[in-house]
DNA sequence: CGTGGAATTGAGGCCACTCAAGCAGTGTGG
DNA sequence: CCACACTGCTTGAGTGGCCTCAATTCCACG
């Protein structure tokens, strides 16, 4: 089984054997983090970028009043801070939401790829563009959708993203995030996140218990969420 | 005066005379759009990317119930859809919020740059990474900040971004967007956007009348907005 | 069997929403 | 030159979604 990163890239364009080799050679040491651990500190200037191999990770920002907002969610195969390669200074923290396994790539190696492997560089660029596309969708979700629709949208997105890296089984997947974390993703209070999840359950589109989500009615779920997967860039084509 | 795009890139790293030439040679024909015009359609597959020379542009998505959410705002020197180069299919529309002047770059030319000019390619990549960084900040803003703080944050961001491209005069700048558009940016109703602006005016941090914003008390404004410019990537350093 | 974290429920309040009307500035046609 | 539309800003009133605080239940685990 290829690494989830290769699965993700190969979903969007052909990654040659040679390019795969370059990528895997770029991987340095592996790190493990416990759920709740801070992986990259807000304001830091990392010299490496991180690739998630197992677990779920969030990009988070803590506000003055102590509240937290999670601005991105990551599944296996995602880069956690590829943007740090060029942005240099982190404007948010990166936090493990479950136990995680992570691989490290030196920025020097990334720079070398940009100097010698144009197509692979474009695919890494694409990786960050998909990040951005997801961000925009979240902005739309947060700005104009009801709490219940937001939950539905998140479930749709997670299902599709996890399916690409073979972390779904049929119409089900495990999603071991507490409702406290969910609330920080959706920009809601814990109480209201809970009630919104309940309402979505009552709709009959999903069942969700003990970190296990089953999509009982995909059509209904998509309808509630107004979900259109275009923003996830799922087409295989030359880039 | 160099083009605003060069101003923006040169703020973050040295752009050589040769690189500037490559960029300006990439510019194709110019287009004009009236305020309110659709520049790129949601779902389309453009073969070019657009650079804004004059005016203000938004990336927007219309929901089923007819409401609109603007997920990004663009000032002169910004690429409007550089992400379209690799994402291929637009997952949102691009709309002129004022009268605009725009330059066109063929994707083929961009591809050639990625094949032959690694550093310039990284700077274009950086451009899209800053986009993404702004998206994340907006998510935080929308998820966890009060309406008034949101307005304050937007004013801070717009001031800094416009200052880089010389569109500010002292502590003032023109911001010719209606409150209807403002509401679509902030994810609020028009009425509440209006009341939030009024509250910010009452605080004494700004005056805002007839599309002209003056920042009377930058420190107070930053304080209300919890504004930290790190996410705008304003440091000049090798990338 | 006690403990602690997470999920759930209840009650009350506030922030933001909708609907609707009034006002001000600007452009247009008679 | 004025009546008039038209658009955008402002205000009022009433409603509802989401919030806070607090208590209770549930469940995994030592």
pLDDT of residue B117: 97
Whether A114 and B121 have beta carbons less than 8 Å apart is answered as: yes
For residue B220, give how far its alpha carbon lies from the nearest alpha carbon of chain A (Å).
15
Supply the pLDDT for residue A184. 98
Average pLDDT over residues A123-127: 98
Please state, in angstroms and rounded to a whole number, the distance separating the CA atoms of residues B62 and A4. 33
Express each pLDDT in B176-212 by its tens digit: 999 999 999 999 999 999 999 999 999 999 999 999 9
Residue of A64, A89, A132 with shortest CB distance to B128: A132
Contact A87 B61 (CB under 8 A): no
pLDDT exceeds cutoff 90 at A219: yes
Separation CA B34–CA B37 (nearest Å):
6
The CATH number of domain B138-232, selected from 3.40.50.720, 1.20.59.10, 1.10.10.10, 3.40.50.2000: 1.10.10.10
Number of C-beta neighbours around residue A115 at 10 A: 13
| Mean pLDDT calculated for residue range B30-36 | 95
Q: Round the average pLDDT of chain B to a whole number and report it.
A: 97
Burial of B62 per CB tally in 10 Å (0-12, 13-18, 19+): middle
Determine the pLDDT at residue B204: 96
* Spatial contact of A5 and A23, defined as CB atoms under 8 Å apart: yes
Query: Rounded to an integer, what distance in angstroms lies between the CA atom of residue A161 and that of residue B163?
Result: 39
Angle, in degrees to the nearest 10, between helices B118-144 and A118-144: 20
pLDDT, greater one: B1 or B69: B69
* pLDDT for the residue A108: 97
Distance A190 CA to C6 C1' (A): 11
Average pLDDT over residues A155-159: 98
What pLDDT, on the 0 to 100 scale, is given for residue A113?
A: 98
pLDDT at A217 over 90: yes
Question: How many CB atoms sit inside 10 A of residue A63's CB?
Answer: 15
Check if the beta carbon of residue A57 is closer than 8 Å to that of residue A39.
yes
**Residues 6+ positions from A182 with CB-CB distance below 8 Å:** A151, A154, A193, A197
Write the CATH number of the domain with boundaries A145-232: 1.10.10.10
Share of chain A residues as helix, strand and coil, in percent rounded to the nearest 5: 45, 20, 30
Interface of B with A in 7-46 (CB under 8 A): 43
pLDDT on residue B2: 86
Interface A-B: count of C-beta contacts within 8 A: 150
Determine, for residues B92 and A136 on separate chains, whether the beta-carbon distance falls below 8 Å.
yes
Which residue carries 């803003």 as its tokens?
B141
Q: State the Cα angle at A226 between A222 and A229, rounded to 5°.
A: 75
Helix, strand counts (H, E) of chain A: 9, 10
**Residue B203 burial class via C-beta count within 10 angstroms: exposed 0-12, middle 13-18, buried 19 and up:** middle
Using alpha carbons, list the distances in angstroms from residue B193 to A64, A111, B184, B206.
23, 44, 9, 15
Chain A closest CA to B190's CA: distance in Å?
Answer: 13
Q: What is the pLDDT of residue A2?
A: 86
pLDDT at B36 over 90: yes
Q: How far apart are CA B48 and CA B56, in angstroms?
A: 19
- Within an 8 Å CB–CB cutoff, is residue B136 touching chain A? yes
Output the pLDDT for position A1: 79
CA atom of A199 to C1′ atom of C11, Å: 20
Share of chain A above pLDDT 70, in %: 100
Does residue B178 reach within 7 angstroms of strand D, measured from its CB?
Answer: yes
Domain locations in chain A? 4-137, 145-232
Joined together, the tokens standing for residue A122 give: 């474009």
| pTM exceeds cut of 0.85 | yes
Inter-residue long-range contacts of B221-226, CB under 8 Å, 24+ positions, other chains counted: B221/B152, B221/B155, B221/B156, B222/B156, B224/B148, B224/B149, B224/B152, B224/B200, B225/B145, B225/B149, B225/B152, B225/B153, B225/B155, B225/B156, B226/A63, B226/A64, B226/B145, B226/B149, B226/B153
pLDDT in tens, B107-159: 999 999 999 999 999 999 999 999 999 999 999 999 999 999 999 999 999 99
pLDDT (tens digit per residue) in A87-102:
999 999 999 999 999 9
Minimum CA–CA partner of A12 in chain B: B87
Kindly report the number of other CB atoms within 10 A of residue B159's CB atom.
21
Q: How far is CA A225 from CA A152, A155, A167, A228, B181, in A?
A: 5, 9, 22, 9, 24
> How many Cβ atoms are within 10 Å of A66's Cβ, its own excluded?
6
Q: Do domains B4-134 and B138-232 have the same CATH topology?
A: no
Q: How far is CA A104 from CA A42, A54, A101, B36, in A?
A: 18, 13, 10, 46
Cα gap B62→A166, rounded to integer Å: 32
Q: What is the CATH number of domain B4-134?
A: 2.60.120.10
- Chain A 91-130 contacts with nucleic strand D (CB below 7 A): none
Whether residue A76 contacts residue A155, with contact meaning beta carbons closer than 8 Å, is answered with: no
Which CATH architecture fits A4-137? Sandwich (2.60)
Determine, for residues B135 and A139 on separate chains, whether the beta-carbon distance falls below 8 Å.
yes
Read off the pLDDT band of B1 (50, 70, 90): confident
């Amino acid at each position: 089984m290829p690494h989830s990163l290769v699965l993700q890239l190969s979903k969007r364009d052909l990654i040659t054997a040679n390019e795969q080799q370059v990528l895997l050679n770029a991987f340095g040491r592996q790190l493990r983090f416990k759920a709740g651990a801070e992986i990259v500190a807000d304001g830091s200037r990392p010299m490496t970028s991180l690739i998630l191999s197992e677990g779920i990770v969030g990009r988070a920002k803590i506000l003055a009043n102590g509240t937290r907002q999670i601005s991105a969610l990551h599944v296996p195969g995602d880069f956690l801070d590829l943007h740090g390669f060029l942005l240099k200074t982190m404007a948010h923290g990166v936090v493990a939401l479950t136990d995680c396994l992570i691989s490290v790539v030196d920025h020097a190696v990334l720079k070398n790829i940009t100097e010698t492997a144009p197509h692979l560089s474009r695919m890494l660029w694409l990786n960050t563009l998909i990040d951005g596309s997801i961000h925009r969708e979240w902005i739309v979700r947060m700005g104009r959708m009801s709490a219940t629709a937001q939950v539905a949208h998140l479930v749709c997105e997670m299902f599709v993203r996890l399916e690409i890296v073979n972390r779904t089984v049929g119409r089900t997947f495990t999603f071991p995030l507490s409702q406290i974390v969910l609330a920080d993703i959706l920009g809601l209070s814990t109480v209201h996140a809970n009630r919104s999840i309940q309402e979505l359950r009552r709709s009959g589109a999903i069942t969700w218990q003990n970190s296990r989500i089953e999509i009982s009615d995909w059509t209904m779920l998509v309808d509630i969420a107004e979900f259109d997967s275009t923003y996830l860039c799922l087409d295989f084509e030359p880039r």
